[in-house]
Structure 1
Amino acid sequence: MPESVIDSPSVPIAVRDFGGPGQPLLLLHGAGGNLAQMSTLAEHLSPTHRVVTVDLRGHGRSGDGPWRWDDVLADLAAVTDHLSLTPPAVVGVSLGGMLATLWAQRHPECPGAVSFDGNPPLNRLDQVAGLDPEQAGIELAKLRAVFDGMAAMLAEPLTAEQVAAMLAGQRAMAQRYGGAADDG
C-alpha cells in the first residue's frame, strides 16, 4: 500500500492509497484517530473500489494547523485533486462522518457520503417528542452541561504524560489494524 504525503494549501496530509478498480472512496477516521484505523475497511472495499485513507490535519503523520472546517475540506480537496479521485464517495467515522457530510453538501457531484456515528447530540425539545416537555428541558440542559464540560476539557493543553499515552495508544491501534508501530 503506497503511503505518501500530499501538500494541501496549509499543511501536509498523509494518505494511504489501497488502489482498486472501481469508484473512488475516501475514508476518514474520527477525532484522535489515524489512517491506519481504516485499514481493515479499506482492504475489504479495495477489490471493488479505489480506496484512499487520510490522516486528518493534526492526526497521524499529517501536519498540524488551525482546525477550521473550511481548511480541513480544502485538505481533502487537495488529496482528491492530487490523486485524481473524481468524484469520490466519502465514508467517515465520528468526526470523519461529519466531514463526509460537509463534503457532500459542498460537492454536489459527490456520489455518496456515509457517516458512522457522526450525528450531533440532541439539543432541542422537538427532538425528544413524547417526553414531558419540562422534564425533557431539564435532561437536555444536563446533556448540554456534559458536552460543554467535555469541550472545555478538550480545549486544555495536553500534559507530557497524556501525549505519551496517546502516542502509545495510537501505535498499538496501528499495529492492531495492520500498520507499522510508527503509524501512530
Structure 2
Amino acid sequence: VVALDDDGVVRLCNEAARRMLGLEEPTGATLEQLGIAPAILAAARDGTASEGVVVGERVLYADAQPVRRGGRDLGTVLIVRDRTDVAALSERLDTVRAMTGALRVQRHEFANRLHVAVGMLDADRPGEAREFLGEQLHRGPVDYPVENIDRIGDSLLHALIGAHGLEAGERGVRVSVDP
C-alpha cells in the first residue's frame, strides 16, 4: 500500500510495497521523483488499475483509488500486488493439465489393450493373448507417440513433451523431436 497526498507526495508506504517497487525511503517524495514505472504512475494519476508491469524480475499490478471526504480530494491510495507467483502457478497448472490429459489418454489406451487381451481369451486364443500381453509388458506402461523422444534426457521434459504428444496424437497431429 502506498498512500499519496493530494499533491502526489508519498505519505505512507508499507514494507511490501517498498520491496516490490525497489524503494529505499519513499516518504516525502513524489512517485516521479522515485522513478516508478510509467504504467504505475499513470494508474496513480488517473485513479485506475495498471496491467502487469515488469519491475525487476517481478510482474506487478497496481490499483489506484482516489480518496475524497466531504467533497475534498485527500489523495490516492495505491495498492500494489505481485503477480509473479500467480503467473508461475498458472504455468504449473497448465503443465498439470497437460499431464492429466496424457494420463487420461493412457488410461483409455490401457483399457483398450486389456479389452483386446480379454477378447483373445474369450475367443479361446490364450497363446495369442499371452504373446500380446508379453509385447505390452516389454513395451512398458508409457508409449508416447513422439518420434525420437528417447533423445530427451531430462525426465520431466520427456514426460511433458510426451503428454503433449499424446494429446496432439488424439487430434491427428504428429510430434517429433529434431536431432
TM-score (norm 1): 0.23
Say which structure is richer in helix.
2
